[in-house]
């Protein structure tokens, strides 16, 4: 295939922005408090942005917002230079340009369709060639044997199913791939297979990627940049290495210190256990939302909400008392 662009696949220059969120707020009718409370971030062409945070911090809602599946209260969401594709409006081409891989490969594949049917459906719907040979190419791409073609999802293992879900998402050549905890349901050995597959495919196909996970160590294996979320806000964002080795926000430090390690020396003893308690059940209306678990919080944190500000050229932090240099 030529690398030149056509109408369906316009070339996106490396480094240009493919997804922009500006102070985005989102709430669900069933909850009094908003779930996203002013999220600002960008995704550049060809990069992988990792998003980490605990359950309920709004990671999945962020992805749904980018897909246009839920309306925003306020703020700007721009995907590939336009509105998010959405369900009702938005052309098929704009929807095809952004694809999602779900966490649970047991729920995301139709149990009554064969693997061939599952992989052919998006090709047919979007007007691509959907011959058997094209489907076999997709299986090759994700390292599966052609013998699974006539199998049902139930006959495959979790790792194999997740490969099918990735092949399905990539079959129509999206510009942006969203991955929602894609390896959380898998065993460690299989987890590494899928992580390596995602890295390889990104290298060969050049899509941009948002990889959401609660596990900082997993995110570190795929992401160029990491955004740390806490209760609906990005509290720190920056290059993977710098966020991991010198976390500035206390919450990032606590997350990094909580990740189980194989090292033998007591690691980060001074950090360990510092994230006391659990996220508050009732949202705080003013001040820093992390202050109830923070060990450097002061009276300023009670009243003044920290904003995401540039700390170094490659890092932004929302904290009145950032740690480290």
Q: Among 297, 302, 305, which residue's Cα sits nearest to residue 274?
A: 297
Minimum distance between the CB of residue 188 and other proteins, rounded to whole angstroms? 6
What the block records as the tokens of 122 is 């998006």
Give the nearer residue to other proteins in terms of CB position, either 148 or 254. 254
Minimum distance between the CB of residue 59 and other proteins, rounded to whole angstroms? 12
Give the nearer residue to other proteins in terms of CB position, either 122 or 247. 247
Give the nearer residue to other proteins in terms of CB position, either 59 or 95. 59
Minimum distance between the CB of residue 161 and other proteins, rounded to whole angstroms? 12
Give the nearer residue to other proteins in terms of CB position, either 40 or 191. 191
Give the nearer residue to other proteins in terms of CB position, either 281 or 313. 281
Give the nearer residue to other proteins in terms of CB position, either 59 or 311. 59
Bridge partners of 63?
Answer: none
Minimum distance between the CB of residue 237 and other proteins, rounded to whole angstroms? 17
Minimum distance between the CB of residue 278 and other proteins, rounded to whole angstroms? 5
Residues contributing to the site for other proteins (CB under 8 A): 54-55, 157, 159, 187-193, 195-196, 199, 214-218, 220-223, 240, 244-245, 254-264, 272-273, 275, 278, 281
Give the nearer residue to other proteins in terms of CB position, either 262 or 303. 262
Strand pairing category for 309-312 and 315-317: antiparallel
Minimum distance between the CB of residue 206 and other proteins, rounded to whole angstroms? 16
Question: Rg for the chain (alpha carbons), in Å?
Answer: 21
Q: Which residue bears the tokens 């109408």? A: 7
Give the nearer residue to other proteins in terms of CB position, either 74 or 261. 261
Minimum distance between the CB of residue 235 and other proteins, rounded to whole angstroms? 14
3-state secondary structure labels for all residues of the chain: CCCCCCCCCCCCCCCCEEEEEEEEEECCCCCCCCCEEEEEEEEECCCEEEEECCCCCCHHHHHHHHHCCCCCCEEEEEECCECCCCCCCCCHHHHHCEEEECCCCCCCCCCCCCHHHHHHHHHHHCCCCCCHHHHHHHHHHCCCCHHHCCCCHHHCCHHHHHHHHHHHHHCCCCCEEEEECCCCCCCHHHHHHHHHHHHHHHHHHCCEEEEEECCHHHHHCCCCEEEEEECCEEEEEEEHHHHHHCCCCHHHHHHHHHCCCCCCCCCCCCCCCCCCCCCCCCCCCCCCCCHHHCCCCCHHHHHCCCCCEEEECCEEECCCCCCCC
Give the nearer residue to other proteins in terms of CB position, either 123 or 255. 255
- Neighbouring CB atoms inside 10 A of 212's CB total 23
Minimum distance between the CB of residue 321 and other proteins, rounded to whole angstroms? 19
Minimum distance between the CB of residue 214 and other proteins, rounded to whole angstroms? 6
């Amino acid at each position: 295939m030529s690398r030149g662009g056509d109408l369906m696949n316009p070339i996106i220059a490396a480094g240009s922005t493919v997804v922009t969120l500006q102070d985005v707020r989102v709430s669900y009718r069933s909850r009094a408090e908003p779930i996203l409370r002013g999220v600002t971030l960008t995704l550049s062409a060809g990069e992988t942005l990792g998003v980490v945070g605990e359950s309920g911090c709004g990671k999945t809602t962020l992805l749904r917002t980018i897909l246009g599946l839920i309306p925003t209260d306020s703020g700007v969401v721009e995907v590939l230079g336009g509105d998010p594709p959405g369900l009702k409006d938005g052309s098929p081409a704009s929807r095809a340009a952004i694809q999602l891989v779900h966490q649970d490969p047991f729920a995301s594949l139709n149990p009554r369709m064969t693997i061939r049917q599952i992989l052919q459906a998006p090709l047919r719907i979007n007007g691509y060639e959907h011959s058997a040979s094209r489907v076999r190419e997709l299986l090759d791409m994700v390292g599966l044997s052609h013998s699974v073609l006539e199998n049902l999802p139930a006959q495959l293992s979790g790792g194999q199913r997740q490969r099918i879900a990735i092949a399905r998402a990539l079959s129509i050549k999206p510009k942006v791939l969203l991955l929602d905890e894609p390896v959380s349901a898998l065993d460690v050995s299989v987890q590494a297979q899928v992580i390596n597959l995602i890295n390889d495919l990104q290298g060969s196909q050049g899509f941009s990627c948002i990889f959401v996970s609660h596990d900082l160590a997993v995110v570190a294996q795929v992401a160029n940049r990491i955004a740390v979320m806490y209760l609906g806000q990005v509290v720190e964002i920056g290059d993977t290495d710098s966020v991991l080795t010198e976390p500035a926000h206390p919450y990032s430090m606590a997350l990094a210190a909580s990740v189980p390690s194989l090292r033998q020396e007591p690691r980060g003893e001074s950090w360990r256990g510092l994230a006391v308690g659990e996220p508050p059940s009732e949202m705080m209306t003013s001040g820093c939302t992390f202050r109830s678990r923070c060990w450097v919080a002061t009276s300023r944190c009670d009243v003044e909400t920290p904003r995401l500000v540039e700390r170094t050229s490659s890092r932004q932090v929302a904290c009145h008392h950032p740690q480290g240099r």
